[in-house]
Structure 1
Amino acid sequence: MRVLIVILFFVSGCQTDAITTKPSDFICGNAENRFIDGSEGFRDVIATEYGGTTYIGYSHNAELVPHSECAPAITTISGTETQFQWFKYGQPSAVDGVVSLTFSIKNDRQHIVATRIPHKGVANEEYVETDINTPEIGRISKRVWTEEFSNLVITAEDRFDGSSTRTSEATLKTTSKTKYWDENGQQWDCYYVSNTNNKLALNCENEIELDIEYFGFTVPLSTYLKSLSQEIGYEIDSIVILSEVERYIR
């Protein structure tokens, strides 16, 4: 059976269509025809494996369309890396705010990359790190925003991937601003770069004025750094998510 993956991003004012109530077994095992071809009734939701990937979905026009109300619709395991992707009726679906989670092991640490549907005010990439012995306890160590302003990319890191760096950077074409923690001076410094000149502002002195000079608007990188301390709103134990998939292949 061929596998059809239809990727259509629908951006709205809501960050997530997270499930707030536990779906029934019937909903887990059936898809509504009215959302597929406009007909009445339901069709089975099944699982199949192909090339090391488990697909969950329903058959339509001899294709398997990824869909599941109760588990990731696509699960790929390769070596120590496992990726989960959520789909409903062939479209990426945000569950607990994320459309995919990728788990990997590196230096006795579990690394998780979460992706979201790009939208202003939302970090569309988020990195979480946990100890392999306590996978249920993690912290956000990096976030990336690409929809805050046209062509503006913001990255915030807090000891990401075992480093001691605490920094946030905004890049707009050839202009950039980096705000970083100076361990020796015990202060935040700001460094600006453009295609005409560079400037280091110790203790981020005159930060607002420099933002306007280099970007034409303020870039409050401290806000993005503080966001890394927020709670994680999705499951970070891959074993728990795998158990959701296994219900379809038992």
Structure 2
Amino acid sequence: MKIVISMCLLFLSTACTYEQEPSEALCTTVENSKINPDETGFRDVVLITDNADENIGYFLNGELVAHSECTSALKNVGENSGQKYEWFMFGQKIERNGIQSIEFYTTGAGVESTLATRLETSMGWQRQYRQRGVVTREIWLNEPNLDSITSSSNFDNDGVIEVIVISDVISKTKSYDANTAQFDCSWSDSGVLTLDQGCANESTIDNTIFGTIIDSDFYLNELNNATDSYPTDRSEIEEDIERYFK
């Protein structure tokens, strides 16, 4: 540290930065005034273990409030029976590194996978699945006038490339046919099916059924070009918890 500071002072004309770990005090205490404006001082942020679950937070009126500025706050079993980590501050869900939670699990076929989620109010996808390190499915829940859009590429090793759009009783599927090397489109409107081989009339039929054009290719491109914005190594998350609370 002294060497870095000395070099910065010596070469003032050159930008000089370095990363610093959050202080233990920041991670293991919380200002009372941020909980109750009338209070002063600090209270402890602690880890409470309940069987396999781990909860981090502070006590308020005898109850643990999920909170951590430096780590995930909740660790429990996720929907796929894997290990799930969630981020909270002052009892409210937050996003850290672009996600609110991540679950590490193994599929029935033995494939190492993750499921990352974002807050319901976030733009973009709300659920993203990775299998063997590759994004294979994204689910979008905040697109205007639509219930959901699901883009998939070889999810669970099924070989299927498709986008499914749902809006109430209307749905659209755009899927790749490896035999013809083209995408085909289909729509269902209250059970009435419309087919369009090659998706040659996709925009026109979209307008007729949905009242607007659904750019399915956009969601496939987002899936195929997805990059890491959050830790996908479980050990990194565990190391942070170990550093401050164990």
TM-score greater than 0.5 by the shorter chain: yes
Provide the alpha-carbon RMSD of the alignment. 2.0
Q: Name the CA distance, whole Å, in 2 between partners of 1:77 and 1:201.
A: 43
Distance 1:32 1:188 in 2: 56
CA displacement at 1:64 relative to structure 2: 1.1
Following superposition, the deviation at residue 49 of structure 1 comes to 0.4
Name which of 152, 155, 162 aligns with 1:160: 155
Is 1:238 aligned to residue 239 of structure 2?
Answer: no
222, 227, 243: which one pairs with 1:227? 222
Contact 1:47 1:248 in 2 (8 A): no
User: What is the aligned partner in structure 1 of residue 14 from structure 2?
Assistant: none
TM norm structure 2:
0.85
Which SS does the other structure have where 2:54 is aligned? Answer: strand
Question: Within the alignment, does 1:32 sit opposite 2:44 as a pair?
Answer: no
Structure 2 CA distance for partners of 1:120 and 1:202, relative to 1, 3 Å: farther
Question: After alignment, is 155-164 or 189-198 more displaced?
Answer: 189-198
Contact 1:140 1:232 survives alignment (8 Å): no
Residue matched to 2:93: 92
Q: Separation in 2 of the partners of 1:52 and 1:203?
A: 51
Count of aligned residue pairs for this structure pair: 224
Report the CA distance between 1:206 and its aligned residue.
Answer: 1.6
Measure, in 1, the Cα distance between the counterparts of 2:33 and 2:204: 56
Return the alpha-carbon distance in structure 2 between the equivalents of residues 22 and 218 of structure 1: 48
Cα deviation, 1:54-103, whole Å, max 9, x if unaligned, reads: 11111111111111111110112589710101101110010011111111
Q: Which of 208, 211, 214 in structure 1 is aligned with 2:206?
A: 211
Distance in 2 separating the partners of 1:113 and 1:21? 30
Q: Choose 1 or 2 for highest CA Rg.
A: 2
User: Counterpart of 1:161 in structure 2: which amino acid?
Assistant: D
Of structures 1 and 2, the one scoring higher in RCO (CA 8 A, sep 6+) is 1
Unaligned residue ranges in structure 1 (runs of 5+): 1-19, 131-137
Which has the larger share of helix?
A: 2
Matched letter for residue 174 of structure 1: V
Aligned counterpart, 1:82: 83
Residue pair 1:122, 1:145 contacting (<8 A) in 2 also: yes
Report the CA distance shift for 1:84/1:30 in structure 2 as closer, same or farther (over 3 A): same
Gaps of 5+ in 2: 1-18
Residue 137 of structure 2: SS of its match in structure 1? strand
Shift of 1:108: 3.1
The aligned residue for residue 60 of structure 2 is: 60
Q: TM-score, normalised by structure 1?
A: 0.84
In structure 1, C-alpha distance between the alignment counterparts of 2:212 and 2:115, rounded to whole Å: 30
State the alpha-carbon separation in 2 of the partners of residues 248 and 60 from structure 1. 21
Question: For the residues of structure 2 that align with 1:40 and 1:123, how far apart are their CA atoms?
Answer: 40
**1:34/1:99 CA distance change after superposition, 3 Å:** same
- How far the C-alpha of 1:21 sits from its partner, in A, is 7.6
Is the 2:146–2:165 contact (alpha carbons within 8 Å) kept by the matching residues of 1?
no
Matched residue of 1:247: which SS?
helix
Instruction: Give the 5 Å matches for 1:6-21.
Output: none
**In 1, are the aligned partners of 2:149 and 2:166 still within 8 Å (CA)?**
yes
